[in-house]
Structure 1
């Protein structure tokens, strides 16, 4: 079973977070489909690169201060990740970066 990577985390909380992160991943991938092939390809490149997905995880953890099953929590986590991916892409474009973490950057493809 995958682990969240937080030491001494309550096993029930970890199980809930892992299930929610799986939902985030599905919605994240669904959200990059669209009408324009270039946008889809570029977005898919960034999403497929993976990463820690720390921002959506923090969103999900914060949801436990209220109702973690409330409508819109998963969507909010996805929005945080999409915003982060957008800033990475913007950074690569502005810096004309050929690589991101040792892999060809989205704007260099």
Structure 2
């Protein structure tokens, strides 16, 4: 039996904050890919993925993130991670992928990378 898994999204203009909760493994990567693809298709080219509640990530989860770094870049945007810790942080460090994807401590820090005026966001 799988642990609970959820993806939620919030939007700020052309920026999307996607929160991932639970275990991101081979069986769930397509759900994250679909959410990210939908954001890009809607013109939300700046992707912030909040992983603070992510408890596990396998190599396919990592591959999904890497694929969407490139897709966001080709669309004129970027992808950033927030709250990476535990298994995900170790995976990012060991594979060197952490050097390719900006990692912020929290969502508000990542949003400031796009929108320096926090007051406009209510942060």
TM-score by structure 1 length? 0.26
Pick the structure with more helix per residue. 1
Q: Which has the larger radius of gyration?
A: 1
Pick the structure with more strand per residue. 2
TM-score by structure 2 length? 0.24
